[in-house]
Amino acid sequence: MKLLITIFQDEDGAFIAECPSIPGCVSQGKTEDEAEKNVREAIKACLEVRAELGMPLTVTTREVEVVA
């Protein structure tokens, strides 16, 4: 399964990685690579819990265009 993740650096310098398709699936690391590794593990754990609870594994995400 391929999922998109986002990675950004917070005000304290930590890299935060999130999976928008799985609400609440967030991890962090000291580097982007570490954050990516950690969010992969978090994704696996989140998918297991969602399956055990009978929840949909992911939610729908969309790309939209916003005219400013």
Domain boundaries, the chain: 6-52
Please check whether residue 39 is in contact with residue 18, taking contact to mean a CB–CB distance below 8 angstroms.
yes
Once rounded to an integer, what is the mean pLDDT over residues 57-61?
95
Q: Going by DSSP bridges, is the β-strand pair 26-29/6-9 parallel, antiparallel, or unpaired? A: unpaired
The pLDDT, as a whole number, for residue 7 is: 98
pLDDT digits (tens, 9 = 90+) for 22-57: 999 999 999 999 999 999 999 999 999 999 999 999
The pLDDT, as a whole number, for residue 22 is: 97
The pLDDT, as a whole number, for residue 38 is: 98
Residues forming a β-bridge with 27: 17
d(CA 51, CA 45): 10
